[in-house]
Structure 1
Amino acid sequence: MVADHDDPGPLPADPLRHHGDVETAPGLLDLAVNVQGDAPPRWLRDRLAAALDDLAAYPTAAHDAAAREAVAVRHARSVDDVLVLAGSAEGFAMLPRLRPALAAVVHPGFTEPEAALRDAGVPVARVLTDADDGHRLDPAAVPTDADLVVVGNPTNPTGVLHPADTLRALARPGRTLVVDEAFADAVPGEPESLAAAAGVPGLLVLRSLTKTWALAGLRAGYALGAPELLARLAVGRPHWPVGTLVLEAVRACSEPAALAAAADAAAQLADRRATQAAALAAVPGVHVAPGVAPYLLLTLPAGTGPAVRDRLRARGIAVRRGDTFPGLGPDHVRVAVRAPHVAARLADALRDALADVTREAAA
């Protein structure tokens, strides 16, 4: 556990297992984690609270069917194309069950898929995108013999939204294409999503409810794919793999009223992202990567990253270090998109921190 206001320090022993929640602590302004809001909205809490009376009974097939039906309608899929998960991270933990001979993971990207595959002894090829090309994915860079490919869309932490056609170009018979769409619902209109693309061979889309609905502690998500692929993924899964509250959350967050609320939230996030990006780009020496996700990837002046993180933390602000993402280094940080007054506070603190570091280096 990280003590309050202590910097996480040197690169962790297992960088692939380092996530933003480790960066924050009580009393810090949390810009390291991308969950929106401090708690689920009242209507969702009421739905979950009402389901508490059902906790004496085991989750039933009817509970599961209702959740899957809501997701199926939401994405215009068959109910058999839906598998409810204990968060999309459970979907990554299941990938070794597909027995890939070679997995290709696109980086910089969420590191949990590679960690799960390596833990299971699966050979992994890293496909690094190029910052000079806006971290866009070149399908030709993916090894042709990879029978499992993992890519985020939008990608975490770069915020890049890859065209759906680029991702479709990675699909082929005998290959599973895993698209992590954990942040897709935070992008207005969900452009480039493959969630409804039932005809793409070997496609597996993973979705999370954690971010938009402030449900990180509940672990709720789902997978979309062909029934035979989902069956392979679920081999060895325990009975009652997700609880009643998770099933209720998946159902509730897939209904029309929730989708409308999510669309409104995505539009607000887009406006806030533009405001925050402009404020941070105005700080001398800071480069803000273009993107669409509810977080921003910053490049700080060479050699200043660790010291700047330390000074931000001393000022009560937690940001996500970037050097645990393959392809990034110690001068990269990721920050969550927040309200304009929070963005202004971050910009001011970042400007002061960089000035302090620069002055000390020159002394």
Structure 2
Amino acid sequence: MKAVTVREFGPIANVAVETMPDPVAGPGEVLIRVAAVAANFVDTLVIGGTYQFLPERPFVPGKGPAGTVVAIGAGVTGFAVGDRVLAMAEIGGYAELCVAPAAQCYRLPDGLASADAAAMSLAYDTAWFALRERGRFAAGESVLVLGATGAVGFATMQLARALGASRVIAGVSSLAKAQTVREAGADAVVELTRPDLRDSLRDQVRAATEGKGVDIVIDMLGGDAFDAALRALAWKGRLVVVGFAAGRIPSVKANYLLVKNIEVSGLQISDYRKRMPALVRECFAEVFALFEAGRIKPPPSRSFPLAQARDALGALLDRSVPERIVMIP
């Protein structure tokens, strides 16, 4: 098979498309012919050797491929050859064939194309856990999404709207992106590049929530946006840390949490796949049901052939492609 390989950790220039032996499904595993796989920022961390969990080299990167089951390992039940699935494999997705634990495969609805499923992977499950599990979202609450134009941001806005949020507020770097996030489900837009953000973000959020502040913040940015969003929380508000795209890892003064009865929690989605697979299955069941009901939609995506993996990852890192990037073997 053709596959993207990493023989030494480092920049994306290190990856190469090579001919590799076809993998074989072992006990409890399925072999999938990959139809599409998203390019994820976390994949670049694995390639660079800076992620929390690193595979032995050489390896094939790529999380969350979608495709068709072509072989089943011993002991696997519930799947058959020919089933279309999303496989939340930790690695191996950047290839024509991928082996994944059957426990982490999810049958796709008939109306969901493989490329759209790949575009949703690692975004909608992250958003679901940020809202449902870590944020304890309840219908009627307001949600502020920092980094709203990213994959997880888009998914969070879609899910918050579908699950009954009273207000979905999108945090953007420029109001030129306002129309984009409104089409994705935002009721209001706040600007994250205004002067004196600590006060200006709070003022914008209060204006969008009748002076109450926001119930839940989902933060993919960190840095100054985190500091400002903490001040924009309503009483008993919850802020969920998903990432640090802005670069700086912020800190919290515990007395501020006490005074406002607010919470800060973190989300590492890979841990849930390992420790609570039944809850992950519940997550995808709800996400796919919302899709079938027409209440959420996949993000806009742009396809690259797998042979152009370096170009796809480069476009991801320099943000030259606004859509979700999907690679097609």
Question: Higher strand proportion, which one?
Answer: 2
Considering fraction of residues, name the structure with more helix.
1
**TM-score under structure 2 length normalisation:** 0.32
Structure possessing the higher relative contact order (Cα contacts under 8 Å, 6 or more residues apart):
1
TM-score of the superposition, structure 1-length normalised?
A: 0.29
